[in-house]
Homo-oligomer: A and B are copies of this chain.
Amino acid sequence: MLICKVVKPLVSTNRIPGFEHKHLQVVLDGSSNKVAVDAVGCKPGDWVICVGSSAAREAAGSKSYPSDLTIVGIIDHWDPDKS
């Protein structure tokens, strides 16, 4: 799983039906922006655990959900400068 920082919510009105209305967050993975489905309810600035691969689907709610990156946990304490 990746350690990412939540940047901001992402709005995409024109999306495939299978994506439903789940919240999407822009997350920072190192220096690159990615989009993750928010399964825990996080806010900008949170350090979170993101799961990818096929596991991202079940983590987002069902094994047919079309996610390849899902936020599955908020890290209690994370100091990026110490790591």
Q: Which residues of A contact B (CB under 8 A)?
A: 1-3, 7, 10-16, 18-19, 24, 26, 30, 32-36, 39-40, 49, 51-59, 63-70, 72-77, 83
- Residues from chain B with a CB closer than 8 A to the CB of A54 are 53-55, 57
Query: Quick check: B73 and A15 within 8 Å, CB to CB?
Result: yes
Which residues from chain B contact A35 at a C-beta distance below 8 Å? 1-3, 49
Chain B residues contacting A51 (CB-CB under 8 Å) are 66-68
Given A2-B34, A33-B83: A56 touches B68 (CB 8 Å cut-off) = yes
Instruction: State which of B13, B53, B64 has its C-beta within 8 Å of the C-beta of A63.
Output: B64
Q: Please judge, given known A-B contacts A33-B83, A67-B1, A68-B1, whether A14 and B73 are in contact too, CB under 8 Å.
A: yes
